[in-house]
């Protein structure tokens, strides 16, 4: 038996609880992992509270991230004792996830723990941080360089936003952070933001085209914010869109795209091909200042996950949440 969070949905309703799980109940897979740490992402919070249709099969162990050591493996690339991490692939949505002391998964989904990081540090980065790096790689792939001008990061005090701010500033970009929490301005400056803007400036319907300011942007908010970011992006600038913290809609016009050649690049971390994942983790190893992870992350135990999930969806949690599952 081992401890884990279980989400159930039946006549008694939708509920998540910390419970004892039987190893015989683990799903199929060729690698069994002794989990040391998992995380609490926005998507996990939606799954645990039931506020979003994340869980596609019940009962489900949530947790889209995990770090741990291989306990048993029939996969050619992994042997007992290897340190591994996992992000996405539907884990915590359709396949039992990381918020438990054990997981059994398909070895093709695993990434060896990068040598620069402890399991705890890799989870301080987690899916949110790896997604932030995918956004940065996309800006680079489209040719955005520090000499092109400022980069806007929305939802900056959250997980994706914090890591994106830290990476981009380390790479020499002038990062302008957008946050709804003025109290976090010093935190964002410490991560490298040169200016912090109130998110209220972006949340209401704006004009199809605004003053050109951003060479690039990382948006986690969606809705009017994403529309306004696109409208104020410079000629041939690039917006990496990865989130919906402010809404799933996109009430925009095509003006920025057809009149300014703005590129709107979609980012998905869940099914991202392995080659690009490995590249994202390699770049996290070289381009994220590890000393900033302590400020970005907080650690909790499994029993604290449920109350914190509700607070995270209310935008009350700063940075990243690491869960020590043992
Ligand atoms: P967090 O909750 O850590 O951060 C989200 C931040 O967005 C908050 O901290 C807050 O920042 C801001 N925010 C919250 N609510 C609102 C609102 N109603 N309007 C405007 N801003 C708001 O989440 P994550 O960083 O983990 O994830 C951010 C988004 O990215 C989520 O939508 C998540 O689903 C998505 N995501 C997508 C991935 C992908 O593969 N495409 C992977 C990972 C995440 P502040 O207080 O600074 O304003």
Q: What is the pLDDT of residues 178-227, one digit of tens each?
A: 999 999 999 999 999 999 999 999 999 999 999 999 999 999 999 999 99
Average pLDDT for residues 125-130, to the nearest whole number? 96
ipTM of the complex: 0.99
Q: What is the pLDDT of residues 95-120, one digit of tens each?
A: 999 999 999 999 999 999 999 999 99
Quote the pLDDT of residue 80: 98
Say how far apart CA 3 and CA 137 lie, in whole Å.
37
Give the tokens for residue 286.
Answer: 């070289």
Say how far apart CA 9 and CA 17 lie, in whole Å.
12
* Whether residue 59 has a cis bond before it, omega within 30° of 0: yes
Phi, psi of 87 (to 5 degrees): -135, 120
Rounded percentage of the chain residues whose pLDDT exceeds 90 = 100
> Which residue(s) pair with 73 in the sheet?
31
SS3 281: helix
Q: What is the pLDDT of residues 135-190, one digit of tens each?
A: 999 999 999 999 999 999 999 999 999 999 999 999 999 999 999 999 999 999 99
To test ligand 1's pocket by mutation, which of 47, 124, 153, 243 has the most ligand atoms within 8 angstroms of CB? 243
CATH architecture of the domain formed by 2-113+291-324? Alpha-Beta Complex (3.90)
Say how far apart CA 220 and CA 280 lie, in whole Å.
18
C-alpha angle 197-200-206 in degrees, rounded to nearest 5:
105
Distance of CA 244 from the midpoint of ligand 1 (Å)? 7
Rounded percentage of the chain residues whose pLDDT exceeds 70 = 100
SS3 11: coil
Domain ranges of the chain: 2-113+291-324, 126-266
pLDDT band at 286 (very low <50, low <70, confident <90, very high): very high
C-alpha angle 111-46-15 in degrees, rounded to nearest 5:
110
To test ligand 1's pocket by mutation, which of 38, 39, 42 has the most ligand atoms within 8 angstroms of CB? 42
Distance of CA 305 from the midpoint of ligand 1 (Å)? 17
Quote the pLDDT of residue 1: 95
Quote the pLDDT of residue 236: 98
User: Cα dihedral angle (193, 199, 205, 207), rounded to 10 degrees?
Assistant: -30
Give the tokens for residue 315.
Answer: 């935008």
Return the residue whose CA atom lies nearest to atom 5 of ligand 1: 158
pLDDT band at 45 (very low <50, low <70, confident <90, very high): very high
- Ligand 1 pocket (Cβ < 6 Å) reads 41-43, 127-128, 131, 155-161, 179-181, 199, 220-221, 225, 242-246, 267-270, 312, 315
Quick one: CA dihedral 118, 309, 221, 242, positive or negative? positive
Distance of CA 219 from the midpoint of ligand 1 (Å)? 9
Distance of CA 242 from the midpoint of ligand 1 (Å)? 9
pLDDT band at 5 (very low <50, low <70, confident <90, very high): very high
pLDDT band at 40 (very low <50, low <70, confident <90, very high): very high
- 40, 22 in Cβ contact below 8 A? no
pLDDT band at 46 (very low <50, low <70, confident <90, very high): very high
Mean pLDDT of the chain: 97
Quote the pLDDT of residue 232: 98
Q: For 126-266, which CATH class?
A: alpha beta
- Nearest atom (ligand 1) to Cα of 157: 47
pLDDT band at 90 (very low <50, low <70, confident <90, very high): very high
pLDDT band at 244 (very low <50, low <70, confident <90, very high): very high
SS3 99: coil
Give the tokens for residue 210.
Answer: 């605004």
Rg (CA), the chain: 20
Quote the pLDDT of residue 278: 96
Average pLDDT for residues 10-23, to the nearest whole number? 96
């Amino acid at each position: 038996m081992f401890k884990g969070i279980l989400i159930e949905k039946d006549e008694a309703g939708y509920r998540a609880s910390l419970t004892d799980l039987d190893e015989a109940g683990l799903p199929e897979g060729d690698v069994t992992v002794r989990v040391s740490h998992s995380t609490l992402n926005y998507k996990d919070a939606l799954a645990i509270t039931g506020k979003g249709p994340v869980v596609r099969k019940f009962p489900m162990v949530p947790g889209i991230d995990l770090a741990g050591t291989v306990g048993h493996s029939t996969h050619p690339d992994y042997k007992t004792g290897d340190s591994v991490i996992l992000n996405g692939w539907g884990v915590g949505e359709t396949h039992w996830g990381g918020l438990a002391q054990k997981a059994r998964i398909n070895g093709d989904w695993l990434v060896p723990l990068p040598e620069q990081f402890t399991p705890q540090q890799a989870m301080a980065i987690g899916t949110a941080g790896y997604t932030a790096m995918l956004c940065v790689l996309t800006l680079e792939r489209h040719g955005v360089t520090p000499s092109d001008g400022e980069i806007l990061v929305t939802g900056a005090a959250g997980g994706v936003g914090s890591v994106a701010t830290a990476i981009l500033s380390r790479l020499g970009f002038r990062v302008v952070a957008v946050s709804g929490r003025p109290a976090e301005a010093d935190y964002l400056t410490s991560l490298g933001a040169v200016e912090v803007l109130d998110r209220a400036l972006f949340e209401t319907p704006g004009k199809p085209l605004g003053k050109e300011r951003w060479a690039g942007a990382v948006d986690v908010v969606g809705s009017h914010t994403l529309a306004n970011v696109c409208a104020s992006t410079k000629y041939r600038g690039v917006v990496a869109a990865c989130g919906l913290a402010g809404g799933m809609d996109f009430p925009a016009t095509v003006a920025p795209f057809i009149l300014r050649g703005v590129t709107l690049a979609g980012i998905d971390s869940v099914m991202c091909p392995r080659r690009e994942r490995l590249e994202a983790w390699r770049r996290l190893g070289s381009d994220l200042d590890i000393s900033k992870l302590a400020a970005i992350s907080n650690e909790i135990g499994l029993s604290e996950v449920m109350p914190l999930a509700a607070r995270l969806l209310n935008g009350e949690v700063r940075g990243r949440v690491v869960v020590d599952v043992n």
